[in-house]
Amino acid sequence: MKKILITGASGQIGSELTLELRKQYGEKNVIATDIRDMNNEVSKGGIFHTLDVTEGGRIQELVRDHQVDTIIHLAALLSANAENQPLNAWNLNMGGLMNTLEVAREQSCTFFTPSSIGAFGPSTVKEKTPQVTVQRPTTMYGVSKVASELLCDYYHEKFGVDTRGLRYPGLISYLTAPGGGTTDYAIEMFYKAISDHHYSSYIAEGTFLDMMYMPDAIAATIDLLEANPAKLINRNAYNITAMSIDPKMLADAIRTHIPDFKLDYDVDPERQKIAESWPDHIDTSAAVAEFGFRPRYDLETMATEMIQKISHNHL
Ligand code: AKB
């Protein structure tokens, strides 16, 4: 049985991944950490410690005390937030990664950290974006993600650390609000469609981005963690996606449930620029071949469940 330490456990991915890991591996085998105690299910429902990932000594201490063998490092700033505070983003995203990777090396832990479609840039081919291709991102978030992929490869090659990662697309969830991403419009649209029957999108019509429903992202993460290391050629990090959509396509899917839903546009130039620098649709064949990646939700099934769950939670 794995003994897992997870950083950024109260974030968008962490708060759902932590609960699923506790279900699958047992409460005592999952050590959740975050910079703050948010007084939520993550901190109240099992082992929880506050942890600032820029303090390497504290990570070391927790890994040793709990005899951790797997580190899932999620603590990072997302794209739009990182653009507003590039220096902080670099310090947190790279400093936290370096500290956790070092502990993984010293304590022989398996190591997972996410990358993103943000690791690609405007010179990357936009359709069927290959697993291995040009990566010249124009955002601080993207720069930190490319550096992170390379550093994880380096730790694997040089020190034999079992590093693994996924390039997540925009993740859509009804449970935890994202913080400061570019793809967040998709989640906002569901909430506004249900509460106001109207949404003004900060991303323009015709801007296609990869997206995925959170349960598929959680399943892919656990599948990669459980994958046979001998089969992992690409490792850091695999392209994964379930759909390529623009705001209009999402609105049309919502309208099958809320027919009078109105979408208009109030484009935010900064986030639009970030979105335009990312691929329209990435190719997932390496993830399929190397660890059996297979998302269960498409646009229709995701939209149906999102509307049911949000409506139910707000009754
Ligand atoms: C963001 O929009 O910053 C994230 C991502 C695609 O990495 N959701």
- Count of all residues that appear for the chain in the document: 315
Tokens 């070092």 belong to residue:
102
Tokens 């959170």 belong to residue:
214
Q: pLDDT tens-digit profile of 33-55? A: 999 999 999 999 999 999 999 99
* Beta-strand relationship, 209-213 and 243-245: antiparallel
Q: Return the number of other C-beta atoms located less than 10 Å from residue 132's C-beta.
A: 8
pLDDT at residue 22 is higher than 70: yes
Given a contact cutoff of 8 angstroms between Cβ atoms, the answer to whether 203 and 247 are in contact is yes
Mutation test residue for ligand 1: of 12, 78, 146, 211, the one with most atoms within 8 Å of CB: 78
Atom nearest to 114 CA in ligand 1: 7
Amino acid identity, position 28:
K
pLDDT at residue 315 is higher than 70: no
Residue 61 pLDDT: 97
Catalytic residue, from 25, 141, 191, 297: name it: 141
Q: pLDDT tens-digit profile of 253-282? A: 999 999 999 999 999 999 999 999 999 999
Residue 179 pLDDT: 76
Ligand 1 binding pocket includes 183 (Cβ within 6 Å): yes
- Report ipTM (2 d.p.): 0.97
Given a contact cutoff of 8 angstroms between Cβ atoms, the answer to whether 295 and 212 are in contact is yes
Query: Can 191 be counted among the known catalytic residues?
Result: no
Atom nearest to 82 CA in ligand 1: 3
